[in-house]
């Protein structure tokens, strides 16, 4: 497979997607983060996120996703570059920029002795909701996240997946215009993950913009409007799934085993069109096989030259 990387370079995407300020939720220009030991976690990242859009950021362990999001949420100050959130300079005015955000960090502590309800009510008040509004918002989030049976349980007694749902719920309180979610569904079972997807889409329907990182390729493919691919601190591609797939010269996949040897390993071939897939099936007399479009994981491998281990979580990136 051969990809035309130049057509999806960050600079090209930045020029192509330049939008009036009123249509941009987040504008990031030449973002660089260099640590004291010389490590470059982010290297010249530039992108724009439209209002009402869901943008997923994908990349392997240590690619720089979390560092990128922490600069966006003002937790880390960039070494160089600019971050603008709803026309507010997030580097110069971090407090003002952060007030427009609902944030789910990759890791965060909760108050072990507070109940689920008390957690949501407390954080709703911290977001400047009235007492009455806090009660209503807490109850709504508890219901949306399927935490009804745990309403009056102390957080210390909950499972890791339930705690993760609480963190997601905290970001949704008050309907912030921008949600920044770092690996929001890590540790959730498939059913709970899809529940979270529905909540994210509902938030967008209600006016929010979403930027999330994920190590689940399926999540990025099914949930997001556009996808940013980060490798070794650089944004190596940014676009819709179809735009990313279009850069694969051979984007149709055929998986099969040797029909004369049932114990053989599965073979995977790629073709430029589905007609070529059908021709190979007929010529090879295949009876057991599966076909499909190439995946985002294939795109990542083609652009970066490295495999993407979707089973790993990002411990420090």
Q: What is the mean pLDDT of residues 76-85?
A: 96
For the whole model, what pTM was predicted? Answer: 0.81
Of 206, 166, 210, 204, nearest in space to 188 by CA: 166
A 10 A CB-CB count for 116 gives 28
Q: Which residues pair with 52 in a beta bridge?
A: none
Q: 266 with 221, same domain?
A: no
Q: 165 with 273, same domain?
A: no
CB 164 within 8 A of CB 187: yes
Q: 237 with 266, same domain?
A: no
- Domain carrying residue 102: 5-245
Q: 146 with 52, same domain?
A: yes
Q: What is the mean pLDDT of residues 63-82?
A: 95
Q: 260 with 241, same domain?
A: no
Tell me the three state secondary structure of residue 171.
Answer: helix
At 296, the pLDDT band (50, 70, 90 cuts) reads confident
The answer to the question of residue 301 being in a domain is no
Q: 24 with 159, same domain?
A: yes
Q: Tell whether the model's pLDDT for residue 165 goes beyond 70.
A: yes
Q: Tell whether the model's pLDDT for residue 244 goes beyond 50.
A: yes
Q: What is the mean pLDDT of residues 146-174?
A: 90
Q: Residue 180's domain is classified under what CATH number?
A: 3.40.50.300
Instruction: State the pLDDT at residue 299.
Output: 86
| pLDDT tens, residue by residue, 189-206 | 888 888 889 889 999 999
CB 12 within 8 A of CB 6: yes
Instruction: State the pLDDT at residue 18.
Output: 54
Q: What is the mean pLDDT of residues 242-254?
A: 85
Q: Tell whether the model's pLDDT for residue 314 goes beyond 50.
A: no
Q: 217 with 77, same domain?
A: yes
Q: What is the residue-averaged pLDDT of the chain?
A: 86
Q: 35 with 72, same domain?
A: yes
Percent of the chain beyond pLDDT 90?
55
Q: 56 with 176, same domain?
A: yes
Q: 238 with 279, same domain?
A: no
Q: 146 with 265, same domain?
A: no
Q: 281 with 212, same domain?
A: no
At 13, the pLDDT band (50, 70, 90 cuts) reads very low
Instruction: State the pLDDT at residue 21.
Output: 60
């Amino acid at each position: 497979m051969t990809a035309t990387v130049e057509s999806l370079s960050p600079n090209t995407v930045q020029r192509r997607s330049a939008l009036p300020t009123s249509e941009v939720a987040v504008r990031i220009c030449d973002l660089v983060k260099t640590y004291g030991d010389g490590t470059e976690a982010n290297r010249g990242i530039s992108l724009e996120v439209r209002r009402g859009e869901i943008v997923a950021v994908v990349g392997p362990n240590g690619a720089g996703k979390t560092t990128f999001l922490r600069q966006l949420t003002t937790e880390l100050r960039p070494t160089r570059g600019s971050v603008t959130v709803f026309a507010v300079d997030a580097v110069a005015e971090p407090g003002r920029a952060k007030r427009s955000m609902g944030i789910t960090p990759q890791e965060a502590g909760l108050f072990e002795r507070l109940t689920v309800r008390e957690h949501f009510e407390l954080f709703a008040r911290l977001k400047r909701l009235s007492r009455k509004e806090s009660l209503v918002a807490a109850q709504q989030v508890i219901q949306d996240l399927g935490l009804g049976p745990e309403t009056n349980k102390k957080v210390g007694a909950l499972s890791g997946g339930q705690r993760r749902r609480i963190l997601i719920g905290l970001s949704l309180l008050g309907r912030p215009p921008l949600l920044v979610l770092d690996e929001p569904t890590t540790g959730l079972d498939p059913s709970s993950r899809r529940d979270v997807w529905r909540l994210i889409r509902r938030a967008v329907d209600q006016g929010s913009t979403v930027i999330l990182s994920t190590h689940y390729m399926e999540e990025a493919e099914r949930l997001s409007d556009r996808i940013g691919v980060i490798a070794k601190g650089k944004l190596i591609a940014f676009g819709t799934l179809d735009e990313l797939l279009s850069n694969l010269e051979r984007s149709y996949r055929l998986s099969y085993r040797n029909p004369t040897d049932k114990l053989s390993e599965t073979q995977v071939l790629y073709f430029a069109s589905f007609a070529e897939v059908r021709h190979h099936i007929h010529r090879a007399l295949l009876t057991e096989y599966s076909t499909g479009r190439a995946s985002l994981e294939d795109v990542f491998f083609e652009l970066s030259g490295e495999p993407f281990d979707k089973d790993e979580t990002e411990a420090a990136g």
